[in-house]
Amino acid sequence: MKKLSLLISLDYITNMEKKSEIDVIGILKIVVPLILGIILLIFLFVPKSFEAATSTLKNVLPKKKTVEGDIGLLSWEELEQIKPFNSLSEALRTPNEVRILNMKSQNIDEIPAEIAALQKLQILELQNNKIEYIAKEIGQLPFLQYLYLSKNHITILPETIGKMKYLKHLEVSNNKIRVLPDEISNLEYLEELDLRNNRLISINPKLSGNRGLEILRLSGNNLTKIPEQLARLDSLHHLDLSNNKSLNLRETILVLAKFPRLQNLELSDMNIQLIPKEIAELRKLRLLVLRGNKLSQTEKQNARNLLPNTTIEF
Q: With respect to CATH, is domain 72-197 assigned 3.20.20.210? A: no
> Phi and psi of 219, rounded to 5°?
-65, 155
- The end-to-end CA distance of the chain, in Å, is 123
User: What's residue 76's pLDDT?
Assistant: 95
0.75 surpassed by pTM: yes
How would residue 68 be classed by pLDDT, with cut points 50, 70 and 90? very low
pLDDT of 151 above 70? yes
DSSP string, 164-226: -TT--EEE--SS------GGGGG-TT--EEE--SS--SS--GGGGG-TT--EEE-TTS-----
pLDDT reported for residue 49: 42
Strand-pairing partners, residue 192, are: 169, 215
2-32: pLDDT as tens digits: 443 433 444 544 455 544 454 545 665 665 6
The pLDDT of residue 34: 67
* Domain parsing of the chain, residue ranges: 72-197, 200-314
In terms of Cβ atoms closer than 10 Å to its own Cβ (0-12, 13-18, 19+), residue 140 is middle
CA atoms within 13 A of residue 114's CA, in its CB half-sphere: 10
Instruction: For residue range 76-118, list pLDDT tens digits in order.
Output: 999 999 999 999 999 999 999 999 999 999 999 999 999 999 9
% of the chain at pLDDT higher than 70? 77
For the cut 50, the answer to whether the pLDDT of residue 46 exceeds it is no
Residues 193-198, mean pLDDT to the nearest whole number: 98
pLDDT the model gives residue 23: 56
1 pLDDT more than 50: no
Residues 215, 40: Cα–Cα separation, whole Å? 61
Name residues whose C-beta falls within 8 Å of residue 232's C-beta, 6 or more positions apart in sequence: 208, 209, 211
> Can you give the pLDDT at residue 273?
96
For the cut 80, the answer to whether the pLDDT of residue 126 exceeds it is yes
Q: Do domains 72-197 and 200-314 have the same CATH topology?
A: yes
- Pinpoint the alpha helices (H) of 61-145: 76-79, 88-93
pLDDT at 72: 85
Structure confidence by residue, pLDDT tens digits, 228-280? 999 999 999 999 999 999 999 999 999 999 999 999 999 999 999 999 999 99
Mean pLDDT within 276-290: 97
Which has more pLDDT, 298 or 43? 298
The pLDDT of residue 44 is above 80:
no
Which CATH number is 200-314 given? 3.80.10.10
What contacts 152, CB < 8 A, 6 or more positions away? 126, 127, 128, 129, 130, 131, 132, 174, 175
